[in-house]
Amino acid sequence: MAILDINIYGDEVLRKPCKPIEKITPELVTLAKDMLETMYDAPGCGLAAPQIGKNIRLVVIDTAIPDEEEPRPYIMFNPEWDVEPGSALATNEEGCLSLPDVWGNVTRPNKVWVSYIDVNGERQTIHNCEGLFCRCIQHECDHLDGKLFVDKISTADRAMNASKLRKLAKRK
């Protein structure tokens, strides 16, 4: 297991659309486990492959509360999601390991299903995802399309974070 470097806002790799994964190889499973370790170490509740420099459709998620709940790690290859019947919009604060110290409210559907390929190459579908898990799925899948949560925050939140964003983009 290894802790990987996390790419920061301004790095081009975060803006490129990611390629679907054709075959689940042992190397990809190792990479996914390293991503989980990197995420726990950060700490965070989700990490997408472009954040560690790979433009492939892979995300890891664990929204269990550290030290209070048993870990619930998910490794999702080629994840897709859509809203469930009865889903409404919910607004909540988000952050991102690629945007240290930046926070903003994002409005997203509050009940979705997610479908993905697991580490054994099997298709899994989880229905009625809600709360932080639901939000995290959407946030991480956005990364696979080169989108960041700051693209979706209000003008006021953007203004509040403007100087931090400028500094992050310029730090290299």
Interacting residues with Ni ion (CB under 5 A) = 96
The active-site residue, picked from 27, 70, 80, 140, is 140
Nearest distance from C-beta of residue 99 to Ni ion, angstroms: 7
Contact partners, residue 166, CB within 8 Å, separation at least 6: none
Given the complex with Ni ion, which of 31 and 61 has the nearer CB atom?
Answer: 61
Place of tokens 């994964």: 21
Catalytic-residue membership of 80: no
Contact partners, residue 108, CB within 8 Å, separation at least 6: 89, 90, 92, 134, 135, 138
Given the complex with Ni ion, which of 129 and 144 has the nearer CB atom?
Answer: 144
Nearest distance from C-beta of residue 122 to Ni ion, angstroms: 26
In the bound complex, which residue of the shown chain has the CB atom lying closest to Ni ion? 96
7, amino acid identity: N
Nearest distance from C-beta of residue 7 to Ni ion, angstroms: 11
CA 119 – CA 112 distance, rounded (Å): 22
CA 141 – CA 61 distance, rounded (Å): 11
Given the complex with Ni ion, which of 24 and 81 has the nearer CB atom?
Answer: 81
Active site residues: 140
